[in-house]
Structure 1
Amino acid sequence: MPHQAPGDPPVPLSDIPAPPQGQVTTVANLAGGTPPTPRQRIFFYTPDVWEDFILEWVTGLREDYFQIKRIGGSNDRGADVAGFLSPDGFEGEWDCFQCKHYEEALMPSDAYPEIFKILRSVVEGHYTMPRRYYFLAPQGCGPGLKRMLSKPSELRTKFLEKFEGDKPLGAGLDGSLVDKVRGLAETIEYNVFRSVEIHEILEVHSRTPYYAHRFGGPLPARPVVQTPPETPEEEETRYIEHLLNVYVEHFKMEIQGIESLMSHPKAMKHFSRQREAFYSAEALRVFARDSVMPGTFEELQNEVYEGVIETQERSYPDGMERLTRVLEMATALSLTSNALISVSNPRDKRGICHQLANSDRLIWCDEQ
């Protein structure tokens, strides 16, 4: 390397390639560089975390499972995750998900012992034969196993051959048990054994509430909020009762039902706005159910409650003044920690107040 005097610019190293045109250091680089992709993150999962991930993935399948359970452990008898199609569990129809977190793609030699294990469990009465059996691994199945899983007759032939040879399946077990397992192996359909590629796993997982929590955002776009139906639904009953109490007190109205509002345009316009806000918050609740971790929306409700309760508990001339001040406070709240803030709007916050009124956590008129 040539001699450099103090203050001279660094000499470029010839074996370091020039960066792409226009590439510069960004804030993201300073914060830790380009974030890893979901596939890269999965590669570093532990086997236990991989099973948790697959449990989440199963919830995104378009299957009408009665229950999904993680069974994995040292004595899982060949089933890491199970999807039950009825209350009968392992005694009824079910799907088996075999999770293998290996550095390399799965080979036939990885699959044969697992198939033997599930058949042994069926013979011993622990399970009925699963409707489907999936191999799931970060690197997927290698070419040999993929081919056999795509040709069930070949898988059957190769698997039955493994009962013979120097290291036969079931070596060390009671001979009568091995014979029963082989007898079952000769009768089952081998198209129950399947593989799922990692891109398919990630695509399905992206439809679950767990994806953004594991891999980051942004959250998907919210669907358009539906216009409230002309006739209120049963789940609107309580917050509407609170609103009617406000109108009776503030407008000095005689109200025999919602139809009474038709004769008072100002009250009717106010009522319509509150229902629109309630339905916006309900749409956010449903969106949260499908897009973020359970409890996230409820935490947002609690944050709104904590932000407005001091305002709600002050003294006011009437319930309309209390309601107005609480809705104004809710709209002005600066909520920054909840993931749903990125897809919410001021109307949602007002609607959450009506959700809270629906459960009597917020009340507008003083009790007489």
Structure 2
Amino acid sequence: MEAIDARDLRLPNEGIALSAHRAEHGPRLAPRKVIQTYDPDEWEIFIEEWAHGLVPQYARVQRFGGAGDRGVDVAGFRTAKGFEGEWDCFQGKHYDKSLTPSVAWPEMLKVFLLPVLNPIYTLPRSYSFIAPHGVATSLGHLISTPTELKKKFLEQLTTSQAKSFRELNEDTRAAVITQAENTDFSIFGSVEVIALIQQHSLTPFHAARFGGGLPNRPVADPPPDEMSSSEMGYIRKLVDAYQERFKSVDSIAAVETHEWSGRHFRRQRESFFRAEALRNFARDSVPPSTFEKLQNELHDAVIETAEAPHPDGLERLRQTLDQAVNAQLSSNALIQVTEPADRRGICHQLSNDDRLTWVTHE
């Protein structure tokens, strides 16, 4: 597999970070080949990402892989009650061949042991095996015939010499048998690799792993006529800049009726809402914090201009916005879909957050 670009550093709990290069080109292998190169930990992270894209969405998705996971690699909780409410279990097995029944039996035992050993747990609403090479024909046939799957599992409880079955004490074994006999084994299933990759493509993490570019960005809505409290930070700073230049333009109402300031102000609001739309697009299309990284990169690109001496605040604003538009930004994936108005709007977001200001009182 192609070595990961040095710019594609992992974000904690977020899988692979996303650079512009990786979003466009991705690794050179086909997606189903890429996932075969993952180690078990990366495979669980991939499954966690995939679960975030399922519809309807879960109240919470959590990864438990590793020692002490109790047979649950990733759980999709349908309610805030977690294991005490409805939940789905996703069991990842990253082997170099298809999963067989001998691999499945001990994993199924673990999930039955959950409520047996601690009644606070409920059995999952569904339990899915997920493996890069899928399930073997023998296991696939059993999963497709839940009655036969139950029969074979119950046989394992009394005949298997596998360590996990052999070490059950008689009380626990009896409780598991009772639990299994009263369970509809259609809860057990598997996720095919093609469906896995297609569903993963609906998550913000897909371009980081497989490239192919970002989805088309929707057209941004125009700013609402009524200004909200969430805009007031950057708007007040704009009014300060207009007033420093034009003196009489000392309120939003005065700005809106002033010939030059009014036109300029409307463009700035349009840019701000373009940037807000970009933020929303990023939330659904790229890994978490990608948009915030773009804001930080743009801040770094303009801060020297913003803090340099200027005749007045309006000139500081104008030159900072020009610097934002012309700044050479290349590492962030969102650059592919970012236009000049977005960059100006990000400056107003930074102003809204008190990271940029136009009128200084030295």
Q: Into which bin does the TM-score normalised by the smaller protein fall?
A: 0.7 to 0.9
- 1:154 alignment partner, one of 138, 148, 155: 148
1 CA distance for matches of 2:272 and 2:178? Answer: 62
Residue-by-residue CA offset, 1:249-288 (whole Å, 9 max, x unaligned): 22222544x3433422321111111011111111221222
The code of the aligned residue for 1:87 comes to A
Are the counterparts in 1 of residues 160 and 166 from structure 2 also a CA contact under 8 Å?
no
1 CA distance for matches of 2:106 and 2:249? Answer: 77
Residue-by-residue CA offset, 1:216-258 (whole Å, 9 max, x unaligned): 23122211111111112332111111111122222222544x3
The code of the aligned residue for 1:217 comes to G
SS of match in other structure, 2:165: coil
2 CA distance for matches of 1:321 and 1:300? Answer: 24
1 CA distance for matches of 2:323 and 2:151? Answer: 71
Tell which has more relative contact order, 1 or 2 (C-alpha 8 A, sep 6+): 2
- 1:194 alignment partner, one of 189, 192, 205: 189
Partner of 1:281: 275
- 2:54 alignment partner, one of 55, 61, 65: 61
SS of match in other structure, 1:170: helix
Q: Whose radius of gyration is greater, 1 or 2?
A: 1
TM-score if structure 1 supplies the norm length? 0.85
2 CA distance for matches of 1:253 and 1:156? Answer: 82
Residue-by-residue CA offset, 1:301-326 (whole Å, 9 max, x unaligned): 11111111111112222211111111
Q: Post-superposition shift, 1:170? A: 2.0
SS of match in other structure, 2:62: strand
Partner of 1:239: 234
1 CA distance for matches of 2:303 and 2:231? Answer: 21
2 CA distance for matches of 1:132 and 1:356? Answer: 45
Partner of 1:109: 102
Partner of 1:129: 123
Are the counterparts in 1 of residues 70 and 114 from structure 2 also a CA contact under 8 Å?
yes
Partner of 1:37: 30
> Root-mean-square deviation (CA), in Å?
2.0
Residue-by-residue CA offset, 1:92-127 (whole Å, 9 max, x unaligned): 322211111112222223222211111012200173
Partner of 1:47: 40
TM-score if structure 2 supplies the norm length? 0.86
Q: Which moved more, 1:318-327 or 1:206-215?
A: 206-215
SS of match in other structure, 1:317: coil
The percentage of counterpart residues that share the same residue type is: 48
2 CA distance for matches of 1:328 and 1:166? Answer: 73
Change (3 A) 1:144 1:311: same
Q: Post-superposition shift, 1:355? A: 0.6
Are the counterparts in 1 of residues 242 and 249 from structure 2 also a CA contact under 8 Å?
no
1 CA distance for matches of 2:106 and 2:311? Answer: 76
Partner of 1:90: 83
Structure 1 residues not aligned, in runs of 5+: 1-33
2 CA distance for matches of 1:166 and 1:94? Answer: 29
- Is the counterpart of residue 173 in structure 1 residue 157 in structure 2? no
SS of match in other structure, 1:133: strand
2 CA distance for matches of 1:53 and 1:105? Answer: 18
Residue-by-residue CA offset, 1:40-93 (whole Å, 9 max, x unaligned): 011121112111111111111124423222111233211111122333322232
Structure 2 residues not aligned, in runs of 5+: 1-26
Count of residue correspondences: 334
Tell me which protein shows more helix as a share of its residues: 2
Are the counterparts in 1 of residues 272 and 345 from structure 2 also a CA contact under 8 Å?
yes
Are the counterparts in 1 of residues 61 and 75 from structure 2 also a CA contact under 8 Å?
yes
1:1-368 correspondence to structure 2 within 5 Å: 35-125=28-118, 127-165=121-159, 167=161, 170-256=165-251, 258-367=252-361
Are the counterparts in 1 of residues 256 and 265 from structure 2 also a CA contact under 8 Å?
no
The code of the aligned residue for 1:226 comes to D
SS of match in other structure, 2:303: helix
The code of the aligned residue for 2:302 comes to V
Are the counterparts in 1 of residues 306 and 320 from structure 2 also a CA contact under 8 Å?
yes
